[in-house]
Amino acid sequence: MTDSPTALFESNLRSLHLLARGKVRDIYRVDADRLLLVASDRISAFDVVLPDPIPGKGIVLTAISNFWFERLEEVIPSHLTPTDPVAVLADPRDHEIVRGRAVVVDALQPLPFEAVVRGYLIGSGWKDYCATGRISGVELPGGMELAERLREPIFTPSTKAATGDHDENISMTDVRNLVGAELAEQARETALVLYARAAEHARERGIIIADTKFEFGIDRSGVLRLIDEIFTPDSSRFWLADRYAPGASPSSFDKQYVRDFLETLDWDKRAPGPRLPAVVIDGTRRKYYEALRRLTGRV
């Protein structure tokens, strides 16, 4: 799996109707109840899709997500179906495009927020803390350092911005207003349990999950389910446990490597994004595959 595959910037399947392209995934209609999600090798930073893909990234994201969906199924069911993606594609030319990077899922009603859990003070959470002493309305102790571990993980939901726009942290009150108190509390409790389970597994394998984001959906029976991806280098910050120290941005196995490069450029963080040099593309690819190996044991 570590051989470098041909990069897929976007899919154009002949067998199914394309519904939408997200920052990473292309979404196709299978039938009234199911969708095909194809994880491309696109990479975004600061909510802008960059022009250069990371070869094999979509394969890594799919493998890691499927690993977690299965491992955490007792906490909450996912959107996955047992259908082989190749089985829903009538045109044989589409088969190789989706192999290893696609899943057939139930079409659910997405909740209108991202469920973010933070175990450490970093990223937009650090910026909010420095400005207000809070994150998403959650008050934190004074005098904390960058990347410091929180006393306990906190739920800090955010908006789901369109491509090119920036997500914004919101409060639990905002979430209750969006979906109702009962569903908001169920999402919060589920997200915290998922984070605790995954963080323990990752720590045993030398990775700290500093923070992560989930997306939830509701099926026709009103059951809460996980959708999109879970605990991947795109949706989480993965730090090397043996190199972690508060006070600086730790060494990571995620797209922070790309963000750090972009911060050295004279770029206003608006589309179009800048090109990535070959060394950054290769370095990012290696980090993603190393996260896959450590978390799942796959090579």
Secondary structure of residue 24 in the 3-state scheme:
coil
> Cα–Cα distance between 273 and 109 in angstroms, integer?
31
Domain annotation covers residue 232: yes
What is the pLDDT at residue 142?
A: 96
Amino acid at site 15: S
Domain annotation covers residue 7: no
- H or E element that contains 102: strand 102-106
Domain annotation covers residue 3: no
Domain annotation covers residue 8: no
* Same-domain pairing of 186 and 288: yes
Domain annotation covers residue 276: no
Domain annotation covers residue 223: yes
* Same-domain pairing of 171 and 188: yes
Confidence label for 275 from pLDDT (cuts 50, 70 and 90)? very high
Secondary structure of residue 237 in the 3-state scheme:
strand
Amino acid at site 184: A
* Same-domain pairing of 249 and 125: yes
How many domains does the chain contain in total? 2
Strand arrangement of the beta sheet that strand 102-106 belongs to: 17-21, 25-29, 34-39, 102-106
Final residue of a structural domain among 107, 140, 156: 107
* Same-domain pairing of 181 and 94: no
CATH code of the domain containing 254? 3.30.470.20
Over the Cα atoms of the chain, what is R_g? 19
What is the pLDDT at residue 161?
A: 64
Final residue of a structural domain among 107, 126, 158: 107
**Res 254 pLDDT > 90:** no
Strands 236-240 and 207-218: antiparallel
Residues 6+ apart with CB under 8 A from 44: 23, 24, 50, 163, 273
pLDDT digits (tens, 9 = 90+) for 27-82: 999 999 999 999 999 999 988 999 999 999 999 999 999 999 999 999 999 999 99
pTM assigned to the model:
0.94
The residue range of the domain holding 28 is 17-107
pLDDT digits (tens, 9 = 90+) for 276-296: 999 999 999 999 999 999 999
CATH code of the domain containing 96? 3.30.200.20
Secondary structure of residue 243 in the 3-state scheme:
helix
Domain annotation covers residue 89: yes
Final residue of a structural domain among 84, 107, 130: 107
* Same-domain pairing of 62 and 142: no
Domain annotation covers residue 246: yes
